[in-house]
Chain A
Amino acid sequence: MTEPGETKVSEERTEALLDGAKPRDDAERDLARLMSEVRESAEPAPGELRARVGRIVAGESSVAWYERLWARLASVWRPTPGRLALGVGTLGALALIAVAVPVLMSDGSSEGGDALATVAPEERVQDDALGELSEPPANALAPEPESRERDAGSAVPGGAPPPVDAAAGRSREIVTFTRISVDGVDALSSTTSRAMSIARRLGGFTESSNFSVPNGEVGTSVLVLRVPTARAGRAVEQVTALGTVLSQNADLTDLSRELSRGRTALQRSAAELARLRRAVAADPADAGLARELEAAEDRHRELTRRQREVQRRVSLATINLTLTTEGPVDPPPDGIGGSLSTSGERLASIGVGVVSVVVLLLPFALIAGLIALGGRWVHRRRREGLLSRP
């Protein structure tokens, strides 16, 4: 506010006077004199201060070491707006990366062709027709250690089926797993019927089947076929020809020794049973003998049951067959075209990943930015407040 009688000096003229312009009137002369007086009155730093600063420059601090340490810690841990914003942004980014990376990585393509058919066999249906104790093949060899063979069949369509023929003179359990691709839901249905026919024609049967077409376009049919072991090889051959083989393997377990041991145990049990029956017949009043006979009969029944089970395992091979409308995965093209195609796909997936991460990080970046801006505004207002006091 201007006092009465006082002439104002404009802002432009004030700047001009600062730059050394000549005053044009009394007001400007007055101002120039004022500025000159202020300028000339400025004192140099006192000698003691010069010495003090000199010591600082020389490496001797004027502040106690603990004060310096405290100042250092305070400056590190003071939550300035910038540090807060950085902290929020960093934490948010780390959290999102930890979540996003595994999700993005799990979209990696699964390679077809190596999938094994892991159909868990359904509970075996008791087949009393084959439950009779049967003598082993006439040319059975001496018991040999039980062995298990596993043959992973070809995963490429058109590969040869694994050898599953029963070895002469050996009692083997044969279990195969085959996964076949067929062309469409209609073919799925007809192929399922053909597979069942194959089992029937070879003297076997379908132990279980599960047909599923969830949406009319894709479907799966899971079959467990039982065929006589001697015809297992033919069964696998015919089943393989039903479509494009995606995977195939076979488990062969030699049970000759187990069967032999079972026979021996049964023979001993039968002999013991006969002896006890004669003894009981001779002395029917002997309760101890009667109990012994009962226990022997229980043991014999159990041995018989086990032997029948092993017999059944070696009599009928288990053909696990999965028919699916999913096709085999095309192998990557050879040569430069293939490499370019693969590289292009990888770049595209990386690009998608980067864009996804950026989009996910954007809200946190915005929040961090707002915090930083808000903090700077508050900081500025505080500073103006400090400087507005006399």
Chain B
Amino acid sequence: MSTSSEHPSFDAVARTGIDAVYRYLVNLCGSREDAEDLTAQAFEHAQRRWSRFDPERGEPLPWLLAIARRVALDHFRTEGRRRRRERVAAEDPALARQAVPDPAAAESLSPELRSALTRLTRGERELVALRVILELDAAETAALVGSTPGAVSSGLHRALAKLRREVSRDRAW
């Protein structure tokens, strides 16, 4: 990402930021398919608002992630209606054959870790994605999620402790 105060091109920002946004949304949503759709939506929103981005106020990546987060939260808000539609679809044998479970976790993950991640809440997975995967610092993460650096550190600590615990439990089984 460009660190200069000049307004970078959206094309360059999209190329370098797409992986980060996708990884963030995969962890947040828990579904690859949803993450792909939401990533596309996020970039669509970002393109419309690109003229409002002020490079002097921060890097493009946190700005993109903030948009992606809003898109994801809107998606979660409409989750109830979506789940009802999916239930209806599941009751239809013809449609049920088309529905394929799409675990978000990568194949390279151990089964215990993959399972443990699904037991974290969205908020906990979000912190893991932002701090561990995308390596944002506490201040940037706090600004993104609307919290304080201290709360972000505590939240991440609890999420990782929980993850460790779940993994240990699964291994014990």
Tell yes or no: A287 within 8 A of B by CB.
no
Q: Are A56 and B40 in contact (CB under 8 A)?
A: yes
Asked if B128 is an interface residue, CB under 8 A from chain A, the answer is yes
Given contacts A387-B121, A387-B123, contact A18 B165 (CB under 8 A): no
Cβ–Cβ contact A390 & B160, under 8 A: no
Q: Which residue of B lies closest to A385 (CB)?
A: B76
B108 at the interface (CB under 8 A from A): yes
A-B pairs with beta carbons under 8 Å apart, 7 shown: A8-B161, A34-B163, A38-B132, A42-B23, A53-B39, A383-B146, A386-B77
Tell me if A46 is interfacial: C-beta within 8 Å of chain B: yes
Complex contact B153–A37 (CB within 8 A): no
- A57-65, A139-147, A298-306 - interface stretch: A57-65
| B160:A34 contact, CB within 8 angstroms | yes
- Residues from chain A with a CB closer than 8 A to the CB of B108 are 40-41
Asked whether A31 and B36 contact (CB < 8 A) given A11-B154, A41-B105, A387-B121, the answer is: no
**Which B14-47 residues have a C-beta within 8 angstroms of A?**
14, 18-19, 21-23, 26, 30, 36, 39-41, 43-44, 47
Instruction: Give 1 or 0 for each of B137-173: 1 = CB within 8 Å of chain A CB.
Output: 0100000001000000110110011011101110000
Establish whether residues B22 and A44, one from each chain, have CB atoms under 8 Å apart when the complex forms: yes
Chain B CB within 8 A of A45 CB: yes
Measured in the bound complex, the distance between the Cα atoms of B113 and A20 in whole Å is 21
Q: Quick check: B168 and A6 within 8 Å, CB to CB?
A: yes
Number of A-B residue pairs at CB separation under 8 A: 132
Query: Quick check: A3 and B169 within 8 Å, CB to CB?
Result: yes
Q: Chain B residues with Cβ under 8 A from A39's Cβ?
A: 132-133, 135
Interface size, chain A (Cβ < 8 Å):
45
Bound-state Cα–Cα, A200 to B10, Å: 100
Q: Is B82 an interface position by the 8 A CB rule?
A: no
Contact A44 B19 (CB under 8 A): yes
**Interface check B1, CB cutoff 8 A:** no
Task: State whether the Cβ of B87 lies closer than 8 Å to any Cβ in chain A.
Answer: no
Whether A38 pairs with B113 at a CB distance below 8 angstroms is yes
Q: How far is the CB of B69 from chain A (nearest CB, A)?
A: 9
**Docked-complex contact A387 and B126, CB < 8 angstroms:** yes
The residue on B at minimum CB distance from A55 is B40
Contact B41 A49 (CB under 8 A): no
Chain B residue at minimal CB-CB distance from A1: B165
Q: Is A384 an interface residue (CB 8 A)?
A: yes
Q: How far is the CA of A126 from the CA of B62 in the complex (A)?
A: 98
In the complex, whether B119 has a CB less than 8 A from a CB of chain A is yes
- Selected contact of A57 from candidates B30, B43, B110, CB within 8 Å: B43
Give the complex CA separation of A41 and B168 in angstroms: 19
Inter-subunit contact B132/A45 (CB<8 Å) = no
**B133 and A42 contact, CB distance less than 8 A:** yes
Indicate if the CB atoms of B157 and A11 lie closer than 8 Å: yes
Contacts of A387 in B (CB 8 A): 73, 76, 121-123, 126
Enumerate chain B interface residues (CB-CB to A < 8 A). Answer: 10-11, 14, 18-19, 21-23, 26, 30, 36, 39-41, 43-44, 47, 73, 76-77, 105-106, 108-110, 113, 117-123, 126, 128, 131-133, 135, 138, 146, 153-154, 156-157, 160-161, 163-165, 167-169
Q: Using Cβ atoms and an 8 Å threshold, which residues of chain A touch B30?
A: 390
**Does A381 interact with chain B (Cβ within 8 Å)?**
no
A37–B110 touching, CB < 8 Å? yes
Is A50 positioned at the interface, with any CB of B under 8 Å from its CB? yes
Shortest CB–CB separation between residue A249 and chain B, in angstroms? 68
Interface pair A41/B106, CB less than 8 Å apart? yes
Bitwise, A312-327 to B at CB < 8 A (1) or not (0) is: 0000000000000000
Given A56-B44, A388-B122: A45 and B19 interface contact (C-beta under 8 Å): yes
CA distance A308 to B128 in the complex (A): 111
Q: Across the interface, do B109 and A37 meet the contact criterion of CB distance under 8 Å?
A: yes
Nearest Cβ distance between residue B70 and chain A, in whole angstroms?
10
- Complex: how many Å from CA A1 to CA B118? 18
Most chain B beta-carbon neighbours within 10 Å: one of A9, A14, A38, A39: A38
A18 to B135, CA, bound (A): 8
Known contacts A15-B153, A389-B121; A57/B40 CB under 8 A: no
Asked whether A43 is an interface residue with its Cβ less than 8 Å from the other chain, the reply is yes
- With A42-B133, A57-B10, A390-B122 in contact, is A35–B160 under 8 Å at CB? yes
Taken residue by residue from 193 to 204, chain A's Cβ proximity to chain B (1 for < 8 Å, 0 otherwise) reads as 000000000000
Contact in complex: A6, B164 (CB < 8 Å): yes
